[in-house]
Chain A
Amino acid sequence: MSTSGHLVDAEAPVLTLHDAAVSVGGRRLWSGVDLTVRPGEFVAVLGPNGVGKSTMIKVLLGALPTAAGSVSVLGQRPGAAGESIGYLPQRRNFDGSLRIRGVDVVRLGLDGDRWGVPLPLSRRFSAARRAADERVREVIELVGASAYAHRPIGECSGGEQQRLLIAQALVRKPRLLLLDEPLDSLDLPNQAGIAALIHRICRQEDVAVVMVAHDVNPILTYLDRVVYIVSGGAASGPAAEVITTETLTRLYGTPVEVLKAADGRLVVVGGPEAPALHNDRHSDRHGALL
């Protein structure tokens, strides 16, 4: 595999997992995950609650070691390519009384990890400062948040906040975007809007996207590949090949049926926890999904 680290050619995989497994607290969460993601590809991580979908993101960030197999992120070990990875953690709502503008939150994604404070009047004298301002403006326009980026972020709606947070994750021009349930706690029109936005960014900016989702339907038409994780194993491939009665029955080890609604939406019936229906863990934040 290419592990040069310096020159990664355009078509080299952004991400490779080979027979990867993870244990947390001595308990094996998942194993046997094989996945290759190339630039500009949109991949979803699916599976029942508690199976460790978010753990996958932590592994890719290098915050958690693998118990077996190999993982390579941008040709390096996980955690070594932090600058080139954009990360959107599981939904956090900004308090309505937080008096910070959306544009400031995006800006922190660019230089918030630096020491010191910006000097007064540096906008007038520093070209780097102006370039940073321009990048922030550009990325806010890319996600279509220009109209409300200068309002306090706590006063923005859930969908508006999510667009600003995607801008924050994108501001350093990452080559890989890791999104942890970005559609969670949004209403259906906003889910569709954010899904379309992520797809557009993925293609337009040639960013590889790995997105954890508990409902595949809003993103189904955009996906290049899915990884479906259950506690016994995992399957990856195009959505049409993985989310099928045969594959899921084999994965779960019990009869599972995948039904296709007239509008193309998939419903998984009979699994221990169906991915399109389960909302036990999230029920405190939103109502029924379907």
Chain B
Amino acid sequence: MNPGFSWNLVTDVQWMWSLPSMVNAFRAGLAVALLAGVVGWFMVLRRQSFAGHSIAVTGFPGAAAAVYLGLSATLGYFGFCLGSALVIALLSRGSGTGVGERAHSSALIAVVQAFALALGALFLDLYGGFLSSTSAFLFGDFLGITDEDVLTLVAVALVVLLTMALIGRRLLFASVDPAVASARGVPVRGLNILFLLVLGATVAEVSKFTGSLLVFALLVMPAATAQVLTARPARSLLITIVLGVLVTWFGLAWAYFGNQATGFTITSLAFGCYVLAYAARSARGVLLRPAVTA
């Protein structure tokens, strides 16, 4: 079935795309990278990566519980991710991004996260023995995606991206400068709650493909890489999206020809990009350091 890599790129791609499951993987990869890129960019800017991580981790017991109860894993992901996002949003104070607020939130989020993992263990135990999809819940499965999966993904992506387009500028203001934004009538706390819910929905949807642990490869790494490379918001967001799509597609191809897990290939590429970007900026900083610092 897998003919191996031939160095003839055209026939390679033709072979790869002759499989419906690979075509769906590439389609899903595009939507997932777009979704995770936009939401992840704001998450990184708002320093809410830890909150995002915890929301992702609660997806695992959610999926395990749903499967144990005979429901679809999707339902479990969405129920638990949105639920934990709401808990974090309602219990965190103010904008959710300030220094004091962050300290308060991080302890709270850690509590939610620890309990979620414990629940995951409970459901696995209740299931009795080995749950075959445990590995997929944690590390993802880009193969075996159905047309229906892609449609659900596109629907979620549309809702999330439209929401982000509507609140984008206000959210940026509230993230960068909550005190002035608030004085200008921007509902800083309301936006924090809304954003965490959007993050919850994104994490739930993306986790179906990347797993609860590797959702971060696409949520954090492209955004963090772009923010290392540039401080211009529009350019940074664009780099995030392009990088996310490239990393996902090349990761899928690598996984297909190299017989590796997609979680490993995609994450490795994203990690490599981050390291390169960081090294490039550090090198530039050393070489172009101004003689007199203001």
Contacts and interface: CB of A to CB of B under 8 A. Distances in A.
B20 interface: no
A89 B227 contact: no
A98 B168 CA distance: 18
B232 A120 contact: no
A65 to B, nearest CB: 16
Contacts of A61: 183
Interface in B142-197: 165-170, 172-173, 176-177, 179-181, 183-186
B183 A105 contact: no
A116 B227 contact: no
Q: How many B residues are at the interface, by size bracket?
A: 20 to 34
A108 interface: yes
B231 A105 contact: no
Given A100-B231, A105-B176, A148-B294, A112 B165 contact: no
A114 to B, nearest CB: 6
Contact of A113 (B184, B227, B233, B236): B184
Contact of A108 (B165, B173, B185): B173
Interface string A191-203: 0000000000000
B170 A114 contact: yes
Given A113-B184, A113-B186, A100 B179 contact: no
Contact of A99 (B45, B170, B185): B45
Contacts of B231: 99-101, 104, 151-152
B168 A117 contact: yes
A116 B172 contact: no
A125 interface: no
B1 interface: no
Interface in A86-113: 87-89, 92, 95, 98-101, 104-105, 108-109, 111-113
Contacts of A118: 169, 234
A191 B185 CA distance: 30
Interface in B233-264: 233-234, 236
A2 interface: no
- Which of A92, A108, A115, A148 is the most central at the interface, judged by chain B CB atoms within 10 Å of its CB? A108
Interface residues of A, number: 33
B45 A115 contact: no
A160 interface: yes
B111 to A, nearest CB: 25
Interface string B85-104: 00000000000000000000
Interface in A147-174: 147-148, 151-152, 157, 160, 168-169
Nearest to B176: A100
Contacts of B167: 115
A98 B166 contact: no
Contact of B166 (A99, A112, A116): A116
B135 to A, nearest CB: 35
Interface string A33-61: 00000000000000000000000000001
13 contacts: A82-B183, A82-B184, A95-B47, A100-B45, A101-B232, A105-B176, A112-B172, A112-B177, A112-B186, A113-B185, A115-B170, A147-B294, A168-B180
Query: Lowest 7 CB-CB distances: which A-B pairs, in order?
Result: A112-B173, A117-B168, A89-B179, A152-B231, A99-B227, A113-B184, A108-B173
